[in-house]
Amino acid sequence: MIQLKQSIDFIADWHRLSAETPEPVRRLAGEIVRQHTVALADIFYQNMLSDEQAKSFLDHELVNQRLHVSLQRWLQELFSGEQHDPQTIYEQQCHIGEVHARIQLPIGLVMRGGRLLKHAIHSYLVESSLERGDLVKAANFVAETIDLALDAMTDYFVIDMEKHARADEAYRMFALGQNMLAERERQRAAILEWAQQILLKLLADGSAAQLPDIKHSEFGMWLQHKAAIIFESAPELEQIRQRIDEVERSLFPKLIESRRNPGGAGALMKEVETGIAEIKFLLGGLFDRFIEVESGRDALTRLLNRRFLPAVLIREMALARRSAVPFSLLLLDLDRFKLINDTYGHGGGDMVLQQAADLVTSSVRAGDFVFRYGGEEMLVVLVEVGSDQALRVAETIREKFAADAFRVGDRQTAGVTVSIGIATYNGHPDYETMLKDADAALYEAKDAGRNRCVMSGR
């Protein structure tokens, strides 16, 4: 449905542009573009190949063989003197956007390329015999034609990237359904197997050429192909890669050299063992993060974690716009929580967090969302709730905290209060604005003495 509307809008804009631009001006502008397609392609790719980000997608051989010709063809078709069906033109741009998404070409590079082309074509138009009035019309015609094409590419690029994102998420959810504890042990065993192969090769002949590298081991292939998708941007991934690189590039050559001078072999072997132990430790952390975070729950409090907060807020904002029924946020911070940790230890602090999570969860409805937002912060999304009702819910929670005694150890209890910032959806399309409003209200509550609720904007 969205793509159909975009197609209709494109066709309407294409016809409008044709009607606004006299046919002789369109024909002359198109002829100037077609005359200079080779030079335009040269300018485009010379600039692109000077960009470090673009170099990872373009190389000189590929440009010369295929892309240079493709860009010329695109310009010639876009500014053809013949009256092409705009629906066909739209579908061609969509196909290009689909290709860009498939190769994951940054959309910023595409837009930059469009600006380069418009600037270069404008220079050729200025050098032409067009009078001032027609020159303005021709420049506008060229710029809008390229913008329309880029808009269509971008629309389909976004649609296709969303498809890829959904497929990646589905794969991660599939992986989550597997026995991750068994997979963790299997990969730890694969690391040890690789290390044993290294030692056996060193004992056998000590030749660097014969040492099996991690990339072609079972663990290395899993790390490169599956882990990169399942764990996405987890920091442990890069740390594991760096540690492997240190072991392979630094320690292994020294081990081989130590066979000629055995005195330092023992110390080097200990370094290798330490490196492999660190890789195993990082791998364990990687799986732990996956099991806890990807499941959507905070391991300590069992509240939702922040991973899914943007999806929840975007959906609630869309529902609020359609139904004209607001929703509200409560941002809670346990007062003087550091003092609890300092007095009763982190174990006592963890007990307080667990009890606080239970108290908040039991104080809201099944349809509301409760997230662990930070160390001692929780965020409640109160669905279909306006500001007055949100303030009443917040006050109820605050009073429960003040009245309860929280367990902090064996037969030990402590009093805990909470400060709450409240924000209600006001129509702003960016959910970060709403979070900032709640955060500002929370700080106002803490600055005013804690153990209180403050509504944003009041």
Could you give the residue numbers annotated as active site? Answer: 376
How far is C-alpha 64 from the geometric centre of its chain's CA atoms? 33
Contact 306, 373 (CB under 8 A): yes
Beta-carbon count within 10 A of 38 CB: 13
**How far, in Å, CA of 303 to CA of 296, rounded?**
8
Q: Report the alpha-carbon distance of residue 208 to residue 201 in Å, rounded.
A: 9
Distance between CA atoms of residues 90 and 138, nearest Å: 21
Asked whether the beta carbons of 416 and 383 are under 8 A apart, the reply is: no
> Angle at CA 352, nearest 5°, toward 349 and 356?
140
Q: Of the candidates 229, 198, 227, which has an alpha carbon nearest to the alpha carbon of residue 211? A: 198
For residue 422, give the 3-state DSSP assignment.
strand
Asked whether the CA dihedral 126, 131, 133, 137 is positive or negative, the reply is negative
| Burial zone of 15 (CB within 10 Å; 0-12 exposed, 13-18 middle, 19+ buried) | exposed
Residue 347 CA to residue 351 CA, distance in Å, equals: 6
For residue 223, give the nearest of 233, 211, 237 by alpha carbon.
237
The upper half-sphere exposure of residue 398, i.e. CA atoms within 13 Å in the direction of its Cβ, equals: 23
Q: Helices 107-127 & 132-176, crossing angle to 10 degrees?
A: 170
Q: Are strands 328-334 and 418-424 parallel, antiparallel or unpaired?
A: antiparallel
Residue 382 CA, chain-centre distance (Å), reads: 26
Residue with tokens 């029924």: 325
